[in-house]
């Protein structure tokens, strides 16, 4: 007898669906902050890809971006906001619940 799959994706946040955004939030959840170069290397993203995904998360208020100069070089620091931390935790709980329902 084939098992019916009850799929409940309520609570999953579309903002975290992409690998890049999931990675950015994951790094920022376990670190106070991360700079552009660190995120780029850890997540193996191109400059443009990281910039566009970070901008999307920033526009939704999930991360904050601080641009400054170190010497003459630009340095961009990212931090998860309180809204971002709460939203990401809710997303992970919903994902965990979804996985449990599939067993």
What's this model's pTM, rounded to 2 decimal places?
Answer: 0.86
Render each residue's pLDDT in the chain as its tens digit; 103 residues: 344 444 446 778 999 989 999 999 999 999 999 999 999 999 999 999 999 999 999 999 999 999 998 889 889 999 999 999 999 999 999 999 888 888 7
Assign residue 85 the CATH number of its domain. Answer: 1.10.10.10
| pLDDT value, residue 1 | 39
Residue 9 placed within a domain: no
Residue 89 placed within a domain: yes
Residue 39 placed within a domain: yes
Residue 3 placed within a domain: no
CA within 13 Å, CB half, 22: 10
| pLDDT value, residue 10 | 72
Residue with tokens 């067993």: 103
| Domains in the chain, number | 1
């Amino acid at each position: 007898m084939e098992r019916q799959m009850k799929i409940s994706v309520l609570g999953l946040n579309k903002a975290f669906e992409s690998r890049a955004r999931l990675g950015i939030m994951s790094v920022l959840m376990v670190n106070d902050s991360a700079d552009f170069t660190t995120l780029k290397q850890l997540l193996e993203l191109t400059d443009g890809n990281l910039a566009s995904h970070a901008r999307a998360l920033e526009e939704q208020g999930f991360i904050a971006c601080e641009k400054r100069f170190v010497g003459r070089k630009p340095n961009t620091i990212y931090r998860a906001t309180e809204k971002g931390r709460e939203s990401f935790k809710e997303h992970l709980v919903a994902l965990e619940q979804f996985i449990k329902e599939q067993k």
